Amino acid sequence: RGYDQEPSRNKTLIINSKEPFNAEPPVSILGSSYLTSEDNFYKRNHGPIPILRDPTTYKLVVTGDVPNPVSLSLDFIKSLPKYTAVATLQCAGNRRTEMSMRRKVRGVGWGAAAIGTAAWGGAKLSDVLKHAGVMYYSTATNQGGRHVEIVSCDFCKEENGGPYKASIPLLHATTPEADVLLAYEMNGKVLNRDHGYPLRIVVPGVIGARSVKWIESIVVSKTECQGFFQQKDYKMFPPRVDWDNIDWQSRRPLMDFPVQSVICEPQDGAVVKSGDLVDFYGYAVAGGGRGIERVDISVDNGKTWLEAHRLPKLQTNAYDSHRPDWAWTLWELKSVKVETPCTVIVKAVDTAANVQPADVDEIWNLRGVLNTSWHKIRIHGPP
Ligand code: MTE
Ligand code: MO
């Protein structure tokens, strides 16, 4: 299949690759509302967007190492208890372009907006697995060490035309508190084609690559997914490893993303008269359900620091998320006097006291993943 039946998209998206379609919104939009609209949500694909011709005949197959393999209709999945979790999805390649500016990396060139937050509505993966007889994880039933593979129906050249797939540990999949969803809604609307219609997995707190879109089957297995994206991509290597000496098997697949923060407004290269007051806005997020403890800003390239104000999260009691911290914290710091030209830096601390690396060199890796180095912008004086 080719790219002749792609959905229409928001014209303001910044396109990083057209086929497959990879695009992000202007970063300034991200700081402006807690939930990211479907229009403005980054889109990360490895092939053409699949088309579901007939939702009434759609079946999700749950199979593999399960007591009771089943094939479930969309109506059945919608009849299961519905949960809505507010969760941030972040591509492991977010901010790759900055990393590549230090030393060239391979991959789609993302700015700082390959991230977004939505209210995802759907059934719990743990409930769906129960229907296949996979009860809540317990060592007594000897389910330890197993994995749940999620298989799509798209065509990826990295899989030689096969579908995208990924896996998460069975323990993660069967823990109701992990809020892993089979989502059919995004921000209260039917999930659209770009984001996985009719069904996608959402794994809160974990790199976007594990949140498989357009799912077709779920396979419980003794080994983790052997697909390209689980085994030969989305892993982090030390800076000394390059394409001629890489050993993919030596590293585990990335799961939780580390603490991250970005200045959304003003943008790099803004012009401000020296001595003027500037309002700063941005996002901060940590993986694994950890929250943001602190956001620090410097307008003098790190000599002195101010603490930004963390904005309240969306009213989470309207949702069923077990952790408000599956989703980001937006922050602001208003009326800061800047002496231009200057370098502005943001860095965040998460609730486990993890911090961001000061310099990209410390975390440079050939695939350009997990760039969480201090985010810096330049503000110039008027010419
Ligand atoms: N699922 C399928 N089937 N095909 C894909 O190419 N891309 C993954 C993941 N799920 C992908 C997929 C990656 S790398 C990311 S970051 C997220 O989807 C992006 O989700 P989004 O496009 O809804 O923002
Ligand atoms: Mo990604």
Residue pLDDT, tens place only, 298-316 = 999 999 999 999 999 887 6
pLDDT in tens, 93-146: 999 999 999 999 999 999 999 999 999 999 999 999 999 999 765 555 556 668
> Is 7 domain-assigned?
no
One domain for residues 229 and 85: yes
- Choosing from 51, 167, 186, 211 the residue with most ligand 1 atoms within 8 A of its CB, the one to mutate for a pocket test is 211
One domain for residues 298 and 169: no
Check pocket membership of 212 for ligand 1, CB cut-off 6 A: yes
Name the pTM for this structure.
0.97
One domain for residues 275 and 232: no
**Do 150 and 215 touch, CB atoms closer than 8 A?**
yes
Q: Compute φ and ψ for 107, nearest 5 degrees.
A: 140, 170
> Is 344 domain-assigned?
yes
Closest CA to 104 of 380, 372, 368: 368
* Domain end call among 250, 283, 315: 250
Q: Which residue owns the Cα nearest ligand 1 atom 23?
A: 195
> Is 183 domain-assigned?
yes
**Do 367 and 107 touch, CB atoms closer than 8 A?**
yes
Q: Residue 132 maps to which CATH number? A: 3.90.420.10
Mean pLDDT, residues 252-256 taken together: 97
One domain for residues 360 and 311: yes
- Virtual CA dihedral for 17, 22, 26, 31, nearest 10 degrees? -160
One domain for residues 220 and 312: no
Output 65 or 22, whichever has higher pLDDT: 22
One domain for residues 140 and 285: no
> Is 255 domain-assigned?
no
One domain for residues 67 and 183: yes
* Domain end call among 223, 250, 277: 250
Distance of CA 34 to the CA centre of its chain: 15
What is the strand order of the sheet 342-350 is part of? 270-271, 375-380, 342-350, 292-298, 306-307
* Domain end call among 250, 283, 298: 250
What is the DSSP annotation of 284-299?
EE-STT--EEEEEEES
> Is 8 domain-assigned?
no
Domain hosting 266: range is 260-380
What is the strand order of the sheet 59-64 is part of? 70-73, 59-64, 217-221, 147-151, 165-169
> Is 4 domain-assigned?
no
Mean pLDDT, residues 166-179 taken together: 93
> Is 3 domain-assigned?
no
> Is 279 domain-assigned?
yes
Check pocket membership of 46 for ligand 1, CB cut-off 6 A: yes
ipTM of predicted complex: 1.00
Burial (CB count <10 Å: 0-12, 13-18, 19+), residue 267 = middle
Collapsing DSSP states into helix, strand and coil, what is residue 84? strand
* 14 has a pLDDT exceeding 70: yes
Distance from residue 195's CA to the centre of ligand 1 (Å): 8
Indicate which ligand has the atom closest to the C-alpha of 158. Answer: 1
User: Per the structure, how many domains does the chain have?
Assistant: 2
One domain for residues 206 and 321: no
One domain for residues 106 and 217: yes
Per-residue pLDDT, 319: 75
